Amino acid sequence: RESGQSLFAKEARIPRPMASLTKIMTALLVAEHHTMEEWVTIPPEVYGVSGESIHLEPGEQFTVGDLLSAMLIGSANDAAIALAMYHSGSLEAFVAAMNVRARELGLLHTSYQNPVGFDAEMQWSTPQDIAWLTMFALRSGEIRQRMGMRGTILKSRSGNTVTVTHTHALLHAESGVIAGKTGTTPGARQCLLSVVTGSDNREYIVVLLRSLNRYGDMRAIVQALAS
C-alpha cells in the first residue's frame, strides 16, 4: 500500500463515474480540518437526498466523528451533505475545495461536482487516481478506522441513536479484506474499493469501477493475493 507500485491494472487511467468512492475525498477534507468531537447541526439541505441515508433531521446535532462514520461505514448521503455544508457553508464551495485538493495531490484525472458521488457531467475519476487518494487518506487514523469497521452506533446530542452497518459485504465475510468502500449509481454501475492483506502480509488497494459483479470480481482478486 505504501509503495505505490501497481501490480495489475486494466483501463486504470480511463476516467469513469465513481459513485460513492467520491466520499473518500469528502472524508479527507473533513478529517484534515476538523476534530471528531465538534458538533454539527444538520442543515435543511439533507431533505430529499436520494440513495443511502440515515434519515438525518435538520436541527439535530451529531459529532463530526459520528457523521464521518455514517458516511464511510453506511455510505450515508445525507451525512456527506451535512459534513460538506458544515465545512464550507455551501455545496458549491465544498466541491471547489475537493477539486483543489485533488490537484494538490496530483490527481490529474479526477473531477468532482458533488460530495456524495451522484452521477454528474463533471464527476469522474480513474482507478489509479482513486488508489492514490486512498493510499493518502488511509494515513488518517480516523478514516482508516472507519473504513475497516463492520458497524457502529451513532448518538445525537439529544440522545437518539442510529445503527450503521458497513455496506462492503466482503468486510463481513472475507478474512483478507480489512477495509473498504462501496459505490453504486446507474452511470457508475458497481464500484468497490478494498484494502486487502496478501499472503506476504502486505496491504494492497484494489479498485473496481463499472463492475457487473463486484464481489465476485473482488473475491477472485483476494484469492489471487492470498495464494
Burial of residue 136, with CB atoms counted within 10 A of its CB: 0-12 exposed, 13-18 middle, 19 or more buried: middle
C-alpha cell at 78: 445525507
Residue 152, beta-bridge partner list: 164
Query: Is 111:16 a contact under the CB 8 Å cutoff?
Result: no
Give the per-residue pLDDT at 6: 52
Give the per-residue pLDDT at 1: 44
**Residue segments in the chain with a per-residue pLDDT below the cut of 50:** 1, 3, 7-9
Give the per-residue pLDDT at 201: 87
Give the per-residue pLDDT at 11: 54
Residue-wise DSSP of the chain: --S---S--SSTTS-B--GGGGHHHHHHHHHHH--TT-EEEPPGGGTT--SS-----TT-EEEHHHHHHHHHHS--HHHHHHHHHHHHSSHHHHHHHHHHHHHHTT-TT-B-S-SS----TT-BB-HHHHHHHHHHHTTSHHHHHHHT-SEEEEE-TTS-EEEEE-S-THHHH-TTEEEEEEEEETTTEEEEEEEEE-TTS-EEEEEEEEESSHHHHHHHHHHHHH-
